Structure 1
Amino acid sequence: MDTTPNTKIWTDLDLDAEGKQIGYFRLPLAVHDRSGDDVGYSFEAIPVVTIRNGEGPGVLLMAGSHGNEYEGQIILMKLIRELRAEDVRGRIIILPGANAPAVRADRRNSPLDDGNLNRKFPGDPDGDPTSMIAHLIESELLTRVDYAFDLHSGSLSIEYLPCAVVARPSDPDRMGDALDLLRAFGMPTGMIIEHSTGGNRALIGACRRQNVQHLSTELGGGGGVSRAAIDIAEHGVMRLLHHVGVTRRPLTERPPLDCRLLKRVPSWDYIYAETSERGLFEPFVGLGDRVEAGQTTGLIHFTTAPWREPQPVIAKSGGVILCRRIPARTGLGDCVFVLGKDWTS
């Protein structure tokens, strides 16, 4: 694909060619001197792999929308090295570091424009760098596929109970397909969200506009890499690819785990700190634990007045702990736990 009227990002790859191709999308950047004047151009390299073998479904695999979420990037890099063209029936496009500037800088958002890729769709071919990447994904990649699997983790400040995630489809008749994806992925926890956090500006919004089925993950977080989450999720990705028919044979013999289905509660039912003075949060519960309304989930201890009684943090709603705040230093308005409830159709 050369530069087209649809996008200013270019690549030497033919996205529709048969076989396995490895290369880059090139995101054009202006270079400025110290006075701020343009002195030339460079590009940011976004790694991409395409695998095509005859007719069949199309799948986009993504990670690195947020640069400091690591498990998905590792899973897709391993898959890139293992997949062969003869394994595929149809088309697979892999973006292991979709927001390449954020990946390079080891940041959630791009250092070029502070852009959060998962809040930039549908993007803009003439916009800031992150908007250009979002536009490329929606206009050039999603239009070529039937499924998009987007691998996320918690950021530096959040750790998730590892789970696969689908949003409730706008078409009720497609709910069964979404649940089938969760069960094929086969993680111990599957989460159904009623509304995407980013709405139409997130990848899920782009997928709905392009009639592409979507599944994402949350695989740990906290600035580290969860060995257990990678082990479960990489086999889940392999099962998904075979489930949707884009691989000719199963890539793993490991069966899916039984999947407990949860729905995320509304944000007003999360558990928040409600003390005006910042202190150290001591949690009493952890990921996967069930809490009841009115339960004390932890205490905030005040380092400036160590003799003061600690402030309890009370759950206003019951549910299962889906994710937790990592930094111990906590104050008014900080979310310490996100909850999920058992899903019923």
Structure 2
Amino acid sequence: MSASPIATDIDFNRDGKQMGYLRLPHSVHRSAYGWIPFPIACIRNGDGPVMFLSAGVHGDEYEGQIALSRLIQDIDVKDVRGRIIILPMANFPAGVAGLRVSPIDDVNLNRSFPGDPAGTPTQIIAHYIETVLMPGTDLHIDMHSGGSSLFYLPCVMPDWAANCVMPQARIAELCRLFGAPYQITFDEDKEGRYISAAATRLGIASIGAELGGGGRLTGAYADIAYWGILRIMRAMGAYAGSLDHAPAPAETLVLPVKANQFAYAMDGGVLEHLVALGDRIADGARVALIHHPETPGLAPTPVQAIKGGLVVCQRAMGRVERGDCIGHWGGPSA
């Protein structure tokens, strides 16, 4: 596979705090010799753990972008041991457009790994992340939210594979230190297209989070990400700064999420939720109605849960089409 066309002035082996851009050449009508600027920071101070922090893999997920931007501003190089690479807007074109996918190539970065250095811009940045930024990392932390279409309670997500050099119990402890009130685990990404799969291919421990969404920023959830990452970096020995003002981490409820704990719209219309985030629902519970104002006299279509659990995610948009996710839940039924 050919080398990446991405260039940068950042020297990942140099001590100090560096802030700049990954530059991906992009020739279009308005800019013949232009490049796409992916913001990046590298904070290094001698030997120590290597951390890679990412957010904005989906451009309409803001809590992580803000938390990582604050960390770039606030972390003093003297408090760092080792190296921290921070990529706050991993899919920059999607970020500035406020979209889940890039407006340039209509590609979802979190379904694009391991990427292609000769592909579209999204495929190229995926390849660069997996082949340049990730190798040698001791821990990857990736921040998500529900984006424009979904809203999540604050959840941390461990990602562990048999080839991971970090023990599973250690990852569980770091997830506890993150401080979110819920921990969710999904069925395996069998195709290996997610950014977390890129980490596990390299034997790297990866911790993710789903924090808010709905097309807006929830500041309290950005705070969870900010302080949670600092607590994890402190535990890893990568950060020696003060945490005197950090809130105590919340007690975390572990909620495995199975495929039959998702609900989907089988008709188009206007969505009405009948349960709330944080509710624990029974197997077969009616969770929503889909109304049909465009067809006078047509009764609403009910949506039922197959397997119940605690509601951690719901659709944020009012209109639905057949196949849209209504929400999902995790853990045991009511």
- Which residue identity lines up with residue 228 of structure 2 in the other structure? G
Partner in structure 2 of residue 145 of structure 1: 137
Structure 1: 5+ residue runs without aligned partners?
Answer: 34-38
Deviation, 1:205, is: 1.5
Partner Cα separation in structure 1 for residue 250 and residue 29 of structure 2: 53
Partner Cα separation in structure 2 for residue 279 and residue 12 of structure 1: 50
Partner Cα separation in structure 2 for residue 331 and residue 108 of structure 1: 18
1:75-117 residue CA offsets vs partner (Å, 9 max, x unmatched): 1111111011101001000111111111122211112211211
Partner Cα separation in structure 1 for residue 14 and residue 231 of structure 2: 25
Partner Cα separation in structure 2 for residue 342 and residue 262 of structure 1: 8
Partner in structure 1 of residue 212 of structure 2: 220
Confirm whether residue 31 of structure 1 aligns to residue 28 of structure 2.
yes
Partner in structure 1 of residue 81 of structure 2: 89
Residues 59-138 of structure 1: pairs in structure 2 closer than 5 A: 59-138=51-130
Deviation, 1:151, is: 0.7
Deviation, 1:325, is: 1.1
Partner Cα separation in structure 2 for residue 313 and residue 67 of structure 1: 29
Confirm whether residue 311 of structure 1 aligns to residue 296 of structure 2.
no
Confirm whether residue 258 of structure 1 aligns to residue 248 of structure 2.
no
3-state SS of 1:161 partner: strand
Residues 1-345 of structure 1: pairs in structure 2 closer than 5 A: 6-32=3-29, 40-170=32-162, 174-196=167-189, 199-251=191-243, 252-266=245-259, 268-275=260-267, 278-342=268-332
Identity of aligned residues (%): 41
3-state SS of 2:180 partner: coil
After superposition, the CA RMSD in angstroms is 2.1
3-state SS of 2:20 partner: strand
- Which residue identity lines up with residue 180 of structure 1 in the other structure? E
1:32-74 residue CA offsets vs partner (Å, 9 max, x unmatched): 48xxxxx832101111110111111000111111111111111
- Give the paired residue count: 330
Contact 1:301 1:309 in 2 (8 A): yes
Contact 2:160 2:206 in 1 (8 A): no
TM-score for the superposition, normalised by structure 2: 0.92
Partner Cα separation in structure 1 for residue 123 and residue 222 of structure 2: 29
Contact 2:56 2:91 in 1 (8 A): yes
Residue 210 and residue 319 in structure 1: after superposition, are their counterparts in 2 closer, same or farther (change >3 A)? same
- Which residue identity lines up with residue 269 of structure 2 in the other structure? G
Partner Cα separation in structure 2 for residue 215 and residue 281 of structure 1: 32
